[in-house]
Amino acid sequence: MEKNSGKTLAAKILAMVLIVSMAGIFPACKKKSEIPTKEEFLNEHINDPDPHGVKKLDFNREDLIKAWGEPDADKSRGSSYVWKCGDKFIIVGADPDDPNKIEEMYVSYTQELVYLFSNASIIYVSARQDGVTDYHNCIMVEEMYFDKETLACLERGTILEIEFDGYFLETYPGQLSSLYSVKATGKVDESEMPALREQEQYIRENYTGEQ
């Protein structure tokens, strides 16, 4: 009888050990499954009622890299990491004090710009929204962000489509916080050229030291 009791007790202990072990496994699996694929995150973001909002998350950077692969090294900077998904970019912001702790994720924005002129390694453009150029909203962009093909086709009035993080630095001329891609998509109507020439002259005289 005592022998059977001993077996029963051993079986109960083994069962408890297995239950505790499984309890430790399932939360880990659940946490791992909470990381969406890049496509899932992009679709969720686009379908969100507030698509420009930042998603606050608590992902671990190492786990995210395991799920998504290495970020785009040439586009990631500072405490931000960038992954390309289709024709969009997903920006992941890490805690500056703990680079492995992911704090937020959001999708890049598309913006149209209109080329004015170049000075040294700086390209001057105007913002363009819904087909209307804001002649007085001048922005400086470093030439390093343009590929050779795009640089070769630049002339006053060239329309540029950019993907960036959505932030403009509060300077004048303005600057982009982070630029991920740029491509030429066309040219403004000839009727807009006089205003562009006027703006170019103003910027040259007041901000580049030219006369």
Give tens-digit pLDDT for 118-141: 998 999 999 998 889 998 889 999
The pLDDT assigned to 45 comes to 83
- Mapped onto helix, strand or coil, the DSSP state of residue 53 is coil
**Distances 122 to 21, 98, 103, 119 between C-alpha atoms, Å:** 60, 34, 33, 5
CA distance 200 to 211: 11
CA distance 139 to 172: 7
Which of the following CATH numbers is that of domain 109-207: 3.40.50, 1.10.287, 2.40.50, 1.20.1330? 2.40.50
Q: pLDDT tens digits for 49-82?
A: 665 567 777 778 899 999 999 999 888 877 888 9
pLDDT at 114 over 80: yes
Residue whose pair of structure tokens reads 């909002």 in the numeric block:
53
State whether the Cα torsion 111-114-116-120 is positive or negative.
Answer: positive
Report the mean per-residue pLDDT for the chain. 82
Residue 101 — very low, low, confident or very high, per pLDDT cuts 50/70/90? Answer: confident
What number of other Cβ atoms are within 10 A of residue 21's Cβ? Answer: 9
In degrees rounded to 5, what are phi and psi of residue 16?
A: -65, -40
Q: Is the peptide bond before 194 cis (omega within 30 degrees of 0)?
A: no
Which of the pair, 208 or 137, is modelled with greater confidence? 137
The pLDDT assigned to 188 comes to 95
CA distance 115 to 161: 11
Q: Compute the average pLDDT of residues 19-34.
A: 48
Residue 32 — very low, low, confident or very high, per pLDDT cuts 50/70/90? Answer: very low
Contact 129, 112 (CB under 8 A): yes
The pLDDT assigned to 25 comes to 45
Q: pLDDT tens digits for 143-171?
A: 999 999 999 999 999 999 999 888 888 88
- Mapped onto helix, strand or coil, the DSSP state of residue 142 is strand
Residues of the chain with CATH 2.40.50: 109-207
